[in-house]
A and B are shown apart, each in its own frame.
Chain A
């Protein structure tokens, strides 16, 4: 794209990234500008490519588990859940009820942690510096629970194929409940800072609009799709890990602009708290590990299992040839697919909006490049 453009005197090709603070990692966007107006973009990705899918083919099924945490590193628990569910599907086992409840609690805590990172950095990109400190303060509480539960804060490796390895620690329920009590007022605090803020609304409203049809066309999922008015969430549509037991709503908005995506994510955090409260209230007793053989050797076959990660539909397509190693693990990363819609969202907008749109897509480059 950038070749012939230099000849046109009114157009400017600008390189944003890969070392730009608001590209959220090593994303390089080549912008074609006419003054302040964006005429077109093209993304250059792959700076963080580590070949996760290739690594999978050279590890055993259980050994690959810690690697998935390193894709979407702000939502490592969700990644692990998706992988474990996929392998469990191939094996034909299901995690026991207690394990499922703990999984739901940790995944939802992770959704909150992921959304807090998004809110903090997004607000920082727009120019509001306060929220990032607030968000990271509350995220710390969630990460502390992870640390106490499984011994790591970020790359958790919390779940194992077939269930859980660790039983909850003493005071787990108390701390989770305390978090649920502490957190909603904090969301109010963020909303007080931002929702009716004139600068915030001015920077976000009608920016990066993506309608429902465009979302489907581009395969965009997650909060971006829901902000466009599609009431679709895999936790409701195809429940996994016992989500059908919990009562929660899918927040949606109509306009599909950046402001609506902000509102949707804020409400999602509140719904996550609701799910955690229900899960911790009715946590069943019992075993935490399903009947999984010591050496995991799924029968020959293939399965596609997807979950609602904080960023959208995270899918694992796993193929087994009956040996101890995966024959193929394909990850369907939400960030990668969502990023593709960037061009449509910023075209015709202003340069400053590119930053807002990258922020609102909530991409993690570790997952885009894998």
Chain B
């Protein structure tokens, strides 16, 4: 008898639906509206490389010590510099970073004595060409510019 009533009033169906609707609470929704709304990655995330500049005068922080190039397991960083006759210091001329071979291990970042080279939170590194993966100094200083999307 009870069984029949359960069947008539669709008790099982409603219990099932309750579970379904309970999981519709916004708290449980994991879907991200990706290009419109970019996920927030962790602070220590190792993403796109960046060569920091001094915000006051726009000069690079890099002292061209070449330590990052030596630390890199893949040998993908090439630093060239020339000696400045006046200050007796090395001035950075070019800095290339081949992101196509980078495995984002962070060893270059650890090696840098002046925090000039940094792996940032940018993660959108896709390009249309192979050559686009090789970043020069200007690209490294400006960082990638992801296309903004509207939702």
Q: A146's closest neighbor in chain B, by CB?
A: B42
Q: How far is the CA of A59 from the CA of B43 in the complex (A)?
A: 29
Residues of B within 8 A of A (CB): 30, 41-46, 71-73, 103-107, 110, 119
Q: How far is the CA of A64 from the CA of B30 in the complex (A)?
A: 36
Shortest C-beta distance, A243 to chain B (Å), equals 27
Interface string of A47-63 (1 = CB under 8 A from B): 00000000000010011
Q: A67's closest neighbor in chain B, by CB?
A: B73
Shortest C-beta distance, A153 to chain B (Å), equals 9
For the complex of A and B, list the 3 residue pairs with the smallest distance between their C-beta atoms, beginning with the closest: A66-B105, A151-B44, A63-B73
- B73 and A151 contact, CB distance less than 8 A: no
Is A165 an interface position by the 8 A CB rule?
A: yes
Q: How far is the CA of A150 from the CA of B45 in the complex (A)?
A: 7
Interface string of A252-293 (1 = CB under 8 A from B): 000000000000000000000000000000000000000000
Q: How far is the CA of A65 from the CA of B105 in the complex (A)?
A: 9
Q: Which of A155-179 contact B (CB under 8 A)?
A: 155, 157, 165-166, 169
Q: How far is the CA of A34 from the CA of B105 in the complex (A)?
A: 50
How many pairs of residues, A versus B, come closer than 8 Å at their CB atoms?
A: 44
Q: If A63-B73, A67-B73 touch, does A169 touch B43 (CB 8 Å cutoff)?
A: yes
Majority secondary structure, B binding face: loop
- A166 and B105 contact, CB distance less than 8 A: no
Which A residues lie within 8 Å of B103 (CB)? Answer: 66, 70, 155
Is A148 an interface position by the 8 A CB rule?
A: yes
- A149 and B105 contact, CB distance less than 8 A: no
Is A152 an interface position by the 8 A CB rule?
A: yes
- B71 and A147 contact, CB distance less than 8 A: no
- B107 and A62 contact, CB distance less than 8 A: yes
Shortest C-beta distance, A128 to chain B (Å), equals 18
Which A residues lie within 8 Å of B107 (CB)? Answer: 62-63, 66
Q: How many of chain A's residues have a CB under 8 angstroms from any CB in B?
A: 21
- B106 and A151 contact, CB distance less than 8 A: yes
Q: How far is the CA of A62 from the CA of B103 in the complex (A)?
A: 15
Q: If A64-B73, A66-B73 touch, does A150 touch B44 (CB 8 Å cutoff)?
A: yes
Majority secondary structure, A binding face: loop
Which B residues lie within 8 Å of A66 (CB)? Answer: 73, 103, 105, 107
Shortest C-beta distance, A133 to chain B (Å), equals 10
Q: If A66-B105, A151-B106, A151-B119 touch, does A59 touch B73 (CB 8 Å cutoff)?
A: yes
Q: A160's closest neighbor in chain B, by CB?
A: B110
Shortest C-beta distance, B74 to chain A (Å), equals 9
Shortest C-beta distance, B48 to chain A (Å), equals 12
Most buried by A among B43, B44, B104: B44
Which B residues lie within 8 Å of A67 (CB)? Answer: 73
Interface string of A100-116 (1 = CB under 8 A from B): 00000000000000000
- A148 and B44 contact, CB distance less than 8 A: yes
Which B residues lie within 8 Å of A70 (CB)? Answer: 103
Shortest C-beta distance, A34 to chain B (Å), equals 45
Task: Name the contact of A63 in the complex, choosing from B42, B43, B71 (C-beta under 8 A).
Answer: B71
Q: A155-B104, A155-B105 are in contact. List 17 more A-B contacts (CB 8 A).
A: A59-B73, A62-B71, A62-B107, A63-B72, A64-B73, A66-B103, A66-B105, A66-B107, A67-B73, A144-B42, A147-B41, A147-B44, A149-B44, A151-B44, A152-B45, A152-B46, A155-B103
Q: A140's closest neighbor in chain B, by CB?
A: B30
Q: How far is the CA of A148 from the CA of B43 in the complex (A)?
A: 7
Q: If A149-B44, A151-B44, A152-B46 touch, does A165 touch B110 (CB 8 Å cutoff)?
A: yes
Q: How far is the CA of A169 from the CA of B43 in the complex (A)?
A: 10
Q: Which of A52-95 contact B (CB under 8 A)?
A: 59, 62-67, 70
Q: If A151-B106, A151-B119 touch, does A166 touch B71 (CB 8 Å cutoff)?
A: no
Q: A62's closest neighbor in chain B, by CB?
A: B107
Q: How far is the CA of A169 from the CA of B44 in the complex (A)?
A: 9
Q: B121's closest neighbor in chain A, by CB?
A: A151
Q: B71's closest neighbor in chain A, by CB?
A: A63
Ordered by A's residue number, 11 sampled pairs between the chains whose C-beta atoms are within 8 Å are A59-B73, A63-B71, A63-B107, A66-B105, A70-B103, A144-B42, A147-B45, A148-B42, A148-B43, A151-B42, A152-B45
